[in-house]
Structure 1
Amino acid sequence: MDIGFMDCIANFHTNPRDTENKEGLFQCHSHQSAELTLLIKGEGYYAAGEQNVEALPGDLLLIPANLKHSYVCINAWEGYSLHIYDQNIPAYCQYLMSHAFTQRQGPILKASLTPGAVERALAAMHQIEETCKRKEQTEYSYDLLRNALETLLLTYHTGACDKAGKVSSEHPEEQLIEDALKEIHQNYHMSLKVSDLAASHYLSESIFRKKFIKHVGVLPKQYIITLRIDEAKRLLLTSRKPVEFIASEVGFSSSSRFHDLFVKHVGMTPMEWRRSGER
């Protein structure tokens, strides 16, 4: 199933004949997609370079794309492994992925989940598996996968925060921009004004703009527009929703403005972009 950001999902487990103590699998590999692995049963280790991460039931691991890594199963295990193209995922999921990897202590990330969080993560994996098994995608497939992936990433962050605790940033300005980016990615589809973002951080609009462009490289308004256009591009290719509906869904109150900005950023109309993906 071609859903744009989804590579594959697998329910993995060891062969019953390999359940003797210290028997298991070992592989060294890399892949172009990022990996989210939820361990349900068993015990083992994941390694990359000098990092060696113990994997136990309830652990959710994030592995970046193109990272050469290996794993060894010590006690027979079972779990789900999801592979996604992180550059193509929806806006808020994209923020959650990038934020996780900028906070990392090593190339492989791990969050130990509570029993309730494991249930939520497992339900999300089941939703993704079920959706991907369908012979034909429906108009809801993209939304189902987006919601399930968002649940997994939020569950990871919650587990990671529970383990590490709330840590104050040593760089308040960087934290300010990080908080602003999170708010943008969460609310880009709503009426989002730069003046409101600035006010929420007790800054004038001009000072907020200067800080934002210093850390991000573009003005906040341009960042929001680009985010909306990118999400519209994904929706045009992964759903049959009307263009006017997509324009509203990604935050444009005027379909004509959406059309003009889309042409300016993409070089073709929304319908031309949709047809280009059908070839």
Structure 2
Amino acid sequence: MQRHGTPMRYEFVDNIEHFAPHAFTGDQGTGLFRAHSHGTDEITLILEGEGYYSSNDQNVQVRAGDLLLIPPDILHGFVCLKAWEGISIHYNSQSIPSYCQHLLQQAYRQHPNQMLISRLNGTHFERVKAAMQQVEEECVSERMNENAYSQDLIRNALEAILLTYLANAPAPSEQANESEDSDELMIQDVLKEIHMTYFTSLKIADLAARRFHSESIFRKKFTKRVGVSPKQYIITVRLNEAKRLLRLTDKPVEFIASEVGFTSSSRFFALFIKHVGKTPLEWRNEK
């Protein structure tokens, strides 16, 4: 498959590649599966044609309208059967905005360490195509460093891509028992709320009450499934978003602290030093 890439100027986007129209003849054989891996996540949309994507334990036929999510470091290959075109975005999932991280975790949770595919048509296909073009246009635009809205446009476009993937994703092949399934849905709903509203005055008691749980039972269920307490999870989300803003913007540290949900600058500084090992300004200047 022939590709040409576009150099990026945006923090979490590594590069964007376009498939060149090309078809292989049958006598060229299976050597066309060119195995490779990369340290970035990948989103690929097939615009025309058809072929196969493969990994160690998957061999998936793809065609126009298919949207693929490929986690980092997975050895995978591809072969074109009918002249195809497409677009791939390679990006660092650790640096994307908070709600986008939640959506990506939702997708990966269903089938961890596998290539994922949603089959799109109609308005869903057009929405994702337009969103991927929006990401590319903003990333290469001369406005990027001058227009703060470019970052919001890229965030909104990435959200649209991931939401459309989830809306069309196949259902998990295995279901947990009713009790476990109910708790899992509850925790996923909480995680969604946290990632969407981390910058507000979130209270654990309120999160629990909205799910008709006592605070103690809610904490136990959350910690068991997520691995950390709800309070610690909220702090981590806020600090990760603060690091993203420190890297991408020139906003004052105190403003960022308030923007991500800390009501006290001193509290923000103390937690940042505890978790990162440096002050926010030291961390920003090193980047």
TM-score by length of 1: 0.88
CA contact (8 A) 1:124 1:149 kept: yes
Q: 1:106 to 1:241 in 2, by over 3 A?
A: closer
* 1:156 match: 165
Match of residue 203 from structure 2: 193
- The answer as to 2:83 corresponding to 1:76 is yes
What is the CA–CA distance in structure 2 between the aligned matches of 1:82 and 1:137, rounded to whole Å?
20
2:108 to 91, 97, 101: 101
Q: Within the alignment, does 1:210 sit opposite 2:220 as a pair?
A: yes
1:180 and 2:190 aligned: yes
2: CA distance, partners of 1:174 / 1:19: 45
Displacement of 1:19 in angstroms is: 7.4
SS in 1 for 2:228: coil
Q: 1:137 aligns with which of 135, 138, 145?
A: 145
Deviation of the 1:110 alpha carbon = 0.5
CA contact 1:93–1:153 (8 Å) conserved in 2: yes
In the TM superposition, residue 111 of structure 1 has moved relative to its aligned partner by: 0.5
State how far apart, in whole Å, the 2-side matches of 1:185 and 1:60 are.
24
Moved more, 60-69 or 214-223: 214-223
For residue 27 of structure 1, give the secondary structure of its aligned residue in structure 2: coil
1:254 partner amino acid = S
Q: 1:264 aligns with which of 274, 278, 285?
A: 274
Shift of 1:2: 5.3
Find the counterpart in structure 2 of residue 248 from structure 1: 258
Q: Which residue of 1 aligns with 2:47?
A: 40
Aligned length: 273
Contact 2:9 2:140 in 1 (8 A): no
Instruction: Look up the equivalent residue of 2:264 and give its one-letter code.
Output: S
What is the rounded CA distance, in whole Å, between the counterparts of 1:145 and 1:224 in structure 2?
24
Give the match's secondary structure for 1:29: coil
Contact persistence 1:47–1:53 (CA under 8 A): yes
Q: Deviations over 1:195-228 (max 9, x none)?
A: 1110111101111111112222221111101110
Aligned to 1:5: 12
CA shift at 1:152, angstroms?
A: 1.0
Aligned to 2:70: 63
- Partner residue of 1:238 out of 248, 252, 259: 248
Relative contact order: is structure 1 or structure 2 higher (C-alpha 8 Å, sep ≥ 6)?
A: 1
Query: Is the CA contact (8 Å cut-off) linking 2:71 and 2:113 kept in structure 1?
Result: no
Deviation at 1:157, TM superposition (A): 0.3
What CA RMSD, in Å, does the superposition of the two structures yield over aligned residues?
2.6
- CA deviation digits over 1:68-87, x for unaligned, max 9? 11111111111110111222
Deviation string for 1:135-164 (max 9, x for gaps)? 56344443332222221111100111xx54
Tell me how far apart the structure 1 counterparts of residues 216 and 171 of structure 2 sit (CA, whole Å): 35
Cα distance 1:206–1:154, how it changes in 2: closer, same or farther (>3 A)?
A: same
Does the CA contact (< 8 Å) of 1:51 and 1:106 recur in 2? no
Q: 1:184 to 1:195 in 2, by over 3 A?
A: same
Is 2:127 the partner of 1:117?
A: no
In structure 1, C-alpha distance between the alignment counterparts of 2:278 and 2:163, rounded to whole Å: 35
Amino acid at match of 1:247: A
1:147 maps to a residue whose letter is N
Distance 2:258 2:192 in 1: 21
User: Closer, same or farther in 2 for the Cα pair 1:181/1:105, shift >3 Å?
Assistant: closer
SS at match of 1:42: strand
Q: Is the 8 A contact 1:33 1:66 kept in 2?
A: yes
Task: List runs of 5+ in structure 2 lacking aligned partners.
Answer: 1-7
Equivalent residues of 1:114, 1:159 under 8 A apart: no
